Amino acid sequence: MSVRRLAPVQPASFAFSADNLAWVDKQIAKYPEGRQASAVIPMLWKAQEQEGWISEPCIRWIADRLGMPYIRVYEIVTFYTMFHMAPVGRTHVQVCGTTPCMLRGAGDLIDVCKKRMGPHAKQVTQDGQFSWEEVECLGACVNAPLVQIFSDTYEDLTVESFNALLDAFARGETPKPGPQIARVHSAPEGGATTLTEVES
Ligand code: FES
Would you state the pLDDT for residue 193?
84
What is the C-alpha separation between 54 and 92, in angstroms, rounded? 14
Residue 165 and residue 56: Cα distance in Å, rounded?
Answer: 33
pTM over 0.85: yes
pLDDT attached to residue 1: 59
Ligand 1 atom closest to Cα of residue 106 = 2
**115-120 average pLDDT score:** 97
Q: Is 86 in the pocket of ligand 1 (CB under 6 A)?
A: no
Whole-number mean pLDDT of the chain?
95
Q: Is the pLDDT of residue 23 over 90?
A: yes
Q: What is the pLDDT of residues 156-183, one digit of tens each?
A: 999 999 999 999 999 999 999 999 999 9
CA of 99 to the centre of ligand 1 (A): 7
- Cβ-based burial of 3 (10 A; exposed 0-12, middle 13-18, buried ≥19): exposed
Q: How far is the CA of 9 from the centre of ligand 1 (A)?
A: 32
Judge if the beta carbon of residue 140 lies within 6 A of ligand 1: yes
pLDDT of residue 164: 98
Identify whether the C-beta of residue 169 lies closer than 8 Å to the C-beta of residue 162: no
113 lines ligand 1 (CB under 6 A): no
Q: Is the pLDDT of residue 191 over 90?
A: no
Cβ(138)–Cβ(1) below 8 Å: no
Identify the band that residue 126 occupies on the pLDDT scale cut at 50, 70 and 90.
Answer: very high
Domains of the chain are: 18-79 (1.10.10), 91-175 (3.40.30.10)
Query: 106 CB less than 6 Å from ligand 1?
Result: no
101 within ligand 1 shell (Cβ under 6 A): yes
Over residues 59-75, the mean pLDDT reads: 98
Does 100 contact ligand 1 (Cβ within 6 A)?
yes
